């Protein structure tokens, strides 16, 4: 895949494609068509996802309207109470939540949500954007089912500029009004099989969905392009192991595509010897990393190989916030490759994530290294990666997947 072809794909997919949307389906069909151009037959596998349509969302402070977006899947209803800013989740701070509409920094994760719920919050407010940006963008967020655990409070998201101003003013009486229709929709994975000489397989993953404001060129059409390049390479070159390529839907909504795939194909997981995941490559700036959820020996293998090939990178052991995680949780050793750019040169989950922050030359170089690694694995007499999950990785998976709360 040459530079012109790479940039053409970014141009063709320069639109928002949130999980479960018509645009996500459009992109899934596009990826399948790109496989067909290579003479390869990819299948689109739908899976159910929670969906919602906001009919109206309103947030006021002392009667003054504040621009907002209502939280999807947070139910319908209203709440009126004093606004309370919660920068910390220590017991003393949480004690102030009772009977309040609580504003938190950043995303409202499961543990913080459960904390404010148990301490009597009446509703919640989050914010995003940047006080230094000219725009007043607001992300369309959702109250995920594994966060709410069936207990819903009305919530809205606002811009950071307004959040700062509300706290400067010392708060006041806040009111949230939220009305929405909730239903079950469909998201999709795109799956391609390249049979090998033996039954064991390597599974490649990358997500193709975006967040509500983003074209998602960097996060993660870049990884999806990388998967297409890998499929093209292996369609023309020998591989001892069978290869499965999964372009995952709804990753941005909580790894839903890879979770659905591993659940639906659980009987097949025993033959997967390795997962290779691509999530954000090819940025103009940034360091290349490999995050291994598996035995530490693989970290050293990648480190040595990178030195041998003269490719600068930083491998480590850990859990990466991407579609590699559900595979690792099922016992499949996984490695995620990414080029992580400084926030000042490339941002994600906002309207600035476009092809302008990517380099076709860097895309080609990153894909080249990943292909070299994948080729060694795919043609190994025996895949050298142990199909075991170290205890420290099991613990990190428990924390990441919210089965355990990480000690503070």
pLDDT, tens digit, for every residue of 21-80? 999 999 999 999 999 999 999 999 999 999 999 999 999 999 999 999 999 999 999 999
Mean pLDDT, residues 302-331 taken together: 98
pLDDT in tens, 34-43: 999 999 999 9
Residue 389 pLDDT exceeds 90:
yes
**For 176-194, what is each residue's pLDDT tens digit?**
999 999 999 999 999 999 9
CA dist 379 and 271 (Å) reads 16
Per-residue confidence at 8, pLDDT binned at 50, 70, 90?
Answer: very high
Q: Which of 256, 58, 222 is nearest to 144 (CA)?
A: 256
CA proximity to 204, closest of 25, 30, 43, 327: 327
Domains and CATH numbers, the chain: 3-50+186-400 (3.40.630.10), 63-171 (3.50.30.30)
Is pLDDT above 90 for 93?
yes
Asked if pLDDT for residue 107 goes beyond 90, the answer is no
Answer yes or no: pTM beyond 0.85.
yes
- Judged against a pLDDT cut of 90, whether residue 1 lies above it is answered with no
CA-based angle 194:326:397, to the nearest 5?
A: 145
The CA distances from residue 71 to 34, 108, 139, 268, 342, in Å, are: 35, 11, 10, 37, 29
Task: Tell me the mean pLDDT in the region 342-356.
Answer: 95
φ, ψ (nearest 5 deg) of residue 267: -65, -20
The residue written with tokens 């012109």 in the block is: 4
- Note the pLDDT of residue 197: 97
Q: What is the pLDDT of residues 136-162, one digit of tens each?
A: 999 999 999 999 999 999 999 999 999
């Amino acid at each position: 895949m040459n530079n012109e072809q790479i940039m053409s794909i970014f141009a063709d997919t320069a639109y928002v494609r949130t999980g479960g949307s018509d645009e996500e389906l459009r992109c899934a069909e596009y990826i399948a068509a790109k496989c067909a151009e290579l003479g390869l037959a990819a299948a689109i596998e739908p899976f159910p996802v929670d969906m919602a349509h906001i009919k109206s969302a309103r947030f006021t402070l002392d009667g003054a309207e504040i621009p907002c977006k209502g939280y999807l899947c947070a139910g319908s209803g209203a709440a009126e109470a004093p606004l309370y800013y919660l920068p910390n989740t220590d017991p003393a701070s949480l004690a102030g939540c009772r009977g309040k509409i609580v504003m938190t920094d950043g995303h409202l994760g499961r543990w913080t949500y459960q904390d404010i719920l148990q301490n009597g919050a009446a509703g919640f407010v989050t914010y995003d954007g940047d006080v230094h940006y000219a725009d007043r963008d607001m992300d369309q967020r959702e109250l995920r089912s594994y966060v709410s655990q069936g207990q819903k409070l009305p919530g809205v998201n606002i811009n950071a500029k307004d959040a700062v101003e509300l706290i400067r003013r010392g708060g006041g009486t806040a009111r949230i009004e939220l009305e929405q229709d909730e239903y079950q929709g469909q998201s999709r994975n795109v799956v391609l099989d390249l049979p090998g000489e033996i039954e064991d397989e390597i599974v490649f993953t990358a997500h193709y969905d975006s967040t509500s404001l983003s074209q998602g060129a960097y996060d993660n059409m870049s990884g999806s392009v990388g998967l297409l390049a890998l499929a093209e390479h292996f369609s023309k070159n020998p591989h001892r192991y069978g290869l499965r390529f999964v372009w995952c839907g709804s990753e941005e909504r909580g790894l839903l595509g890879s979770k659905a795939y591993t659940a639906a194909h659980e009987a097949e997981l025993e033959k997967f010897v390795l997962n290779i995941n691509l999530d954000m490559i090819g940025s103009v700036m940034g360091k290349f990393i490999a995050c291994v959820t598996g035995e530490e020996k693989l970290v050293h293998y990648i480190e040595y190989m990178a030195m041998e090939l003269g490719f600068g990178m930083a491998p480590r052991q850990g859990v990466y916030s991407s579609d590699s995680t559900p595979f690792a949780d099922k016992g499949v050793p996984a490695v995620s490759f990414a080029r992580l750019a400084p926030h000042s040169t490339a941002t994600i989950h906002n309207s600035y994530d476009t092809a302008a922050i990517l380099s076709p030359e860097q895309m080609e170089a990153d894909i080249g290294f990943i292909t070299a690694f994948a080729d060694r694995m795919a043609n190994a007499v025996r895949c050298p990666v142990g199909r075991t999950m170290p205890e420290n990785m099991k613990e990190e998976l428990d924390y990441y997947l919210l089965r355990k709360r990480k000690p503070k």
